[in-house]
Structure 1
Amino acid sequence: MRSTLIKLHFAVFLWGFTGVLGRLITLNAPLLVWYRIFITVITLFVMLWYTGKLEKLPARKIWQLFGAGAIVALHWVFFYGSIKFANVSIALVCLSSAGLFTAVIEPLLTKKKFNIREFLLGFVGIAGIYLIFHFDPHYKLGIIIGILATIFSVVFSIVNKKVVATIAPKTMMLYELSGGFLAITVLLPFYLKALPTNHLTPSLSDWFWLVLMSWFCTLWAMDLSLQALQKVSAFTQNLTLNLEPVYGIILAFAVYHENKELGTGFYWGFALIILSVVLQMMRVLRYRKV
């Protein structure tokens, strides 16, 4: 179980870089996600085809995975939208609401019994967001978009938990991200019509950061997380995701000096997020049941 938790935490560490990379890339949120998924899908297809591990799945399973991919693609669009409307730190800290939303949504989508302890642990994270919003109200829109991103992330993890045990992780990623690519491709013209942009193609530096994001923060990180999800609950995975703000915010402070933009409320809220993660990890290691 310890090795599983290590894989999960390392995946979260890699995801912590996506906020910093997202701010470096000059494309708007949907275009950024479109190119990110495009590079990842092409890479995955070539890898699986070259190694002879390209699997065909039943049509019903393919549509399930396409649906899950559309959800994670929307999560990414809202996440990077939150960065654009607020900053990296705010977008990342909104993910701390994952524990609360998982505790509420998972029993509704599965047969799992409602767990009051999980709800209370998740509520600690949402209390941290409230403190940030209370002291820094000018981040209102970015926080709302960030919370919507978190809800999509939670639903994605719960849906994945249902099928992850029966499909190889890389095969699962290929079909899911292909579905996400199709979903963003369909929605992109409507977004660009509502919010036009002249910057449709990545610059040379954008391509570099997109490849880095796709290979390390998407392909490798998702593979590790799917391996971990075979043995841990969706709640443990989503609450562990609360560490993504820890890693990402440290990087944002170092690269963009965002600590100069944030007030006292942010740090009090951030402390509550760390507390919720520590309490859950102590609970997991004590009962050896995740």
Structure 2
Amino acid sequence: MDPVKKSLISLHLTVMLLGGTALFSKIIPLGAIDITFGRSVFACIFLFLVAKLTGEGWRLKSNRDYAIAFGLGIIMAVHWVTYFMAMQYSSVSVGIIALFTFPVITVLLEPYFEKIKLCWQDIASAIVVLVGIVLIVPDASLDNDVTLGVIIGVFSAFLYAIRNLLHRNYFSHYSGAKAMAWQTLIVCPTLVFFISDDLPQIDMHTLWLLVALGIFFTAVPHAMVASALKHLRAKTFSLVACMQPFYAVLFAMFLINEQPNWQTIVGGLLVISAAVYETINTHRENRKDK
């Protein structure tokens, strides 16, 4: 098979696996902190094994990099917890749509990290996202779990955008697998004092769900990304990554019988359209700079 086609298939599989993480917020009978801790333990072990077996090693290049890894790990811990919380309060479709406000949030935050200016298209994208989010919010009361889920989801998206910007500027000289290995390593001790008494008492079924989430839906996709990017442009990766909400909603519909209403579908289309536009526009601007 042609290497490009093989990489594209691998990339879609990767995005499908990442989209599948949303289901675990519903099928694992634990709170968001417990799920995140379990996910991180198994992902950390697997990713460090990958780094060792590929000859990359475990050590970072400087004390500064260890400090950066620590900061990224803290952000990742809160991001993953709020990611699962958003879906547990609302639904998979609402939570994943709220999360995918992050491309537009990233664009709005970039001027504070890099020497670039906002343009009117970015403001327009932000307005489109805002309209999409308003559509999926049932009412303005925090007593409504869906509304609370949306707010938590957007906060999770904000943290994810911050993490990505910091990673791109200060930690991108490491492979995705090694970078994630260190971040998951930080997540574990960050959350260990907050896990509930339910986690040590889980049955084998729940344990295997955590193993699957940590290894096959977290560690494996992040390890696969580096391989896929060898034959694909970064733009292709970013655009395919925008398919993650689509896969997540499909999984939720067919596997746990979760049916989004028309407001969620229309709002989701607006949010994802803005994400796709910003992805294309960002890569177009990068090409001009080169």
* TM-score, normalised via structure 1 length: 0.81
- The one-character-per-residue Cα deviations of 1:37-96 (angstroms, maximum 9, x if unpaired) are 111111222333345432422111011012112211211100111122112111111113
* Closer, same or farther: CA 124–9 of 1 in aligned 2, 3 Å: farther
Contact 1:16–1:244, Cα closer than 8 Å, also in 2: yes
What's 2:214 paired with? 214
What CA distance in whole angstroms lies between the structure 1 residues aligned with 2:49 and 2:40?
A: 14
Q: 1:100 aligns with which of 90, 101, 104?
A: 104
CA distance in 2, matches of 1:76, 1:226: 21
Q: 2:169 aligns with which of 162, 167, 174?
A: 162
Matched residue, 1:73: 77
Structure 1 residue 107, shift from structure 2 partner: 1.5
SS at match of 2:26: helix
Deviation digits for residues 8-50 of structure 1 (CA, Å, limit 9, x no counterpart):
6554332110011231111211011111111111122233334
CA contact (8 A) 2:93 2:264 kept: no
Q: Does 1:264 align with 2:262?
A: yes
1:175-190 aligned within 5 A: 175-186=182-193, 188=194
1:128 & 1:240 partners in 2: Cα distance? Answer: 21
Give distance in 1, aligned partners of 2:206 and 2:63.
Answer: 36
Counterpart pick for 1:289 among 263, 287, 290: 287
Q: TM-score scaled by structure 2?
A: 0.81
Could you say what secondary structure the match of 2:116 adopts?
coil
In 2: Cα distance, 1:9 partner to 1:105 partner: 28
Consecutive unaligned residues in structure 2, runs of 5 or more: none
> CA 1:198–1:218 in structure 2 vs 1: closer, same or farther (change >3 Å)?
closer
Q: 1:22 aligns with which of 17, 22, 25?
A: 25
Residue type matched to 2:219 in 1?
A: L
Give aligned-pair identity as a percent. 22
- Once residues 287 and 192 of structure 2 are traced to their aligned partners in structure 1, the CA distance between those partners, rounded to angstroms, is 41
Superposition deviation, residue 120 in structure 1: 2.4
Alignment of 1:90-239 (within 5 A): 90-134=94-138, 138=144, 139-186=146-193, 188=194, 192=196, 198-225=198-225, 232=234, 237=238
Q: Does the aligned pair in 2 maintain the 1:72–1:156 contact within 8 Å?
A: yes
For 1:206 and 1:168, how far apart are their aligned partners in 2? 31
C-alpha distance in structure 1 between counterparts of 2:33 and 2:171, whole Å: 27
CA RMSD of aligned residues (A): 3.3
Structure 2 residue identity aligned to 1:166: H
Which stretch of structure 1 is more off in the superposition, 84-93 or 130-139? 130-139
**Pairing 1:28-39 to 2, within 5 Å after superposition:** 28-39=31-42
Q: Which structure is higher in helix share? A: 1
Distance 1:286 1:7, change over 3 A: farther
CA distance in 2, matches of 1:111, 1:283: 17
Cα distance in 1 for partners of 2:89, 2:132 equals 20
Q: Is the 8 A contact 1:169 1:223 kept in 2?
A: yes
Gaps (5+ residues) in structure 1?
none
Amino acid at match of 2:181: L
Amino acid aligned to 1:106: E
State the aligned residue count: 277
**Structure 1 pair 278–168 and aligned structure 2 pair: CA distance change class (3 A):** closer
